[in-house]
Structure 1
């Protein structure tokens, strides 16, 4: 527990690295993966590999944590001795998790909660979670955390691409025209989260390797805007490029101070398929 007794909670869609969560008592609130035979808490009742293995027979859907689940997580933090909390969520433009968290936070009597909408997803949102922990441990006052993390979120960027577009289409993240054109011409869109926190295409690359190169180029260009940056890479075992991309980031971005590496949660893999590779960049907050 940190000296300020401020708990940090997040949802599983932020893909905050598990070892960091364990070391700093960051508490995950699981999103839900829904199959015909039942619903499973992401990362608790079902793993990413299990979702991938079941793709051959069913592409599931996802749903957000219930208000009761969020309240239970906050109450558990209070029981464990925390006096306030910061709850960092994936983009409100992609999930109603943030809005639900805000509703629950307003109902918590005697336990102030600041909800942070990262306007992003995956490991980029995880970088905001990690920054929240660092700010709290550095002594940033509770009242300043919300505004400072909101500002940092605006400058945090995620870029990702996938080999197969059918999962994004199935989840309603891209339209039919984008799916058909991309599949027919081997076009791999590179996506990012726009100002509203929704998926948008930043580039259309012909082929997988060119798409990955475009991702890296966008991270490099974004990094030039700041004195120092933290970068991140995420992928699954099916497309393991962690070592390669980590090395390229360190070699080509002279102002990077750290490269965070992460897997991808079951709830996110539902919408992307097994071939997702993502990168993120964030200015150092201090």
Structure 2
């Protein structure tokens, strides 16, 4: 009989109630300052990151290999035969390879690592869909085969307050980012489903117009699809709440989650002012 474990990482912003309900295992990134180090979402919160950005911009690192080793060792002791890991987009991180290396030390656990080509609530929605399938008794192989079709139903877009932090982290080109800043262009950013990197979905001038464009994108999708919705933010509570309140009124929104701040390690790379929208199409 199959016993399937679910694994994700701290950039998924997965809520505690989902972790507890489905026994999801979360690997934690690290936030690193010159003289101190924090565990993402455990002993540091997003507010701390944003409050200190003017003094020092930290770096980030993958969940340590020993944390992964401990996880797989515990899964083995608990009798798990299979594991499905849903990770942050591979175009933004090397966690996929890290888990793969460790999982090879545990041949008794058949492990499948799926690159979500997403982040934050996008990751969480894929994890939750897998959890529901496990709960229904769907086999490991069938869940693995379904993951690409689940990903096709996922839409993620966000805007940031400034492009400075995406530039510093190499997430966008420095020249293009600098020109956009000078022209007050606020791009709508999405994740490329092919290479998993950020790309400009649309260009809008000014903060207000960019937020209105997010609403239009949502309503265009919701015109023909019923969706679950989640809104996340990075030190942009007021703007994100406005977006949330407008979009959730659409009759094709079947459920709406206001997720709050993104993980600290994500905030390092996006900076303050992020407003993110995730839609997941219902079948």
Give the TM-score normalised by the residue count of structure 1.
0.90
SS of residue paired to 2:187: strand
In structure 2, the partner of 1:153 is 151
8 Å contact kept, 2:236–2:275: no
In structure 2, the partner of 1:93 is 91
| Unmatched runs of 5 consecutive residues or more in structure 1 | none
8 Å contact kept, 1:115–1:146: no
From 127, 138, 141, give the equivalent of 1:129: 127
Judging changes above 3 Å, is the alpha-carbon distance between structure 1 residues 221 and 104 closer, same or farther for their aligned structure 2 residues? farther
In structure 2, the partner of 1:174 is 172
Note if 1:221 corresponds to 2:220. Answer: yes
> Please, which moves more after superposition, 200-209 or 138-147?
138-147
In structure 2, the partner of 1:259 is 256
Q: How does 1:67-82 map to 2 (within 5 A)?
A: 67-82=65-80
8 Å contact kept, 1:4–1:139: no
Count of aligned pairs between the two proteins = 281
Question: d(CA) in 2 for partners of 1:62 and 1:194?
Answer: 22
SS of residue paired to 1:197: coil
SS of residue paired to 1:206: coil
Note if 1:141 corresponds to 2:139. Answer: yes
Question: d(CA) in 2 for partners of 1:145 and 1:260?
Answer: 25
Q: CA deviation at 1:241?
A: 4.0
Judging changes above 3 Å, is the alpha-carbon distance between structure 1 residues 47 and 70 closer, same or farther for their aligned structure 2 residues? same
Q: CA deviation at 1:134?
A: 1.4
Question: d(CA) in 2 for partners of 1:106 and 1:257?
Answer: 40
Question: d(CA) in 1 for partners of 2:224 and 2:123?
Answer: 19
Q: CA deviation at 1:197?
A: 1.1
8 Å contact kept, 2:230–2:278: yes
SS of residue paired to 2:42: coil
In structure 1, the partner of 2:4 is 6
1:137-156 CA-partner distances (Å, limit 9, x unpaired): 12221111112123212331
Judging changes above 3 Å, is the alpha-carbon distance between structure 1 residues 155 and 103 closer, same or farther for their aligned structure 2 residues? farther
Note if 1:35 corresponds to 2:21. Answer: no
Question: d(CA) in 2 for partners of 1:243 and 1:148?
Answer: 33
Question: d(CA) in 2 for partners of 1:45 and 1:145?
Answer: 34
8 Å contact kept, 1:119–1:154: no
Q: How does 1:199-278 map to 2 (within 5 A)?
A: 199-224=198-223, 226=225, 228-252=226-250, 254-262=251-259, 263-278=261-276
Give the TM-score normalised by the residue count of structure 2.
0.91
In structure 2, the partner of 1:115 is 113
1:142-177 CA-partner distances (Å, limit 9, x unpaired): 111112123212331210011111111111111222
Question: d(CA) in 2 for partners of 1:175 and 1:268?
Answer: 18
In structure 1, the partner of 2:104 is 106
| Unmatched runs of 5 consecutive residues or more in structure 2 | none
- Cα RMSD of the aligned pairs, angstroms, is 2.0
Q: CA deviation at 1:234?
A: 0.3
Q: CA deviation at 1:42?
A: 0.7
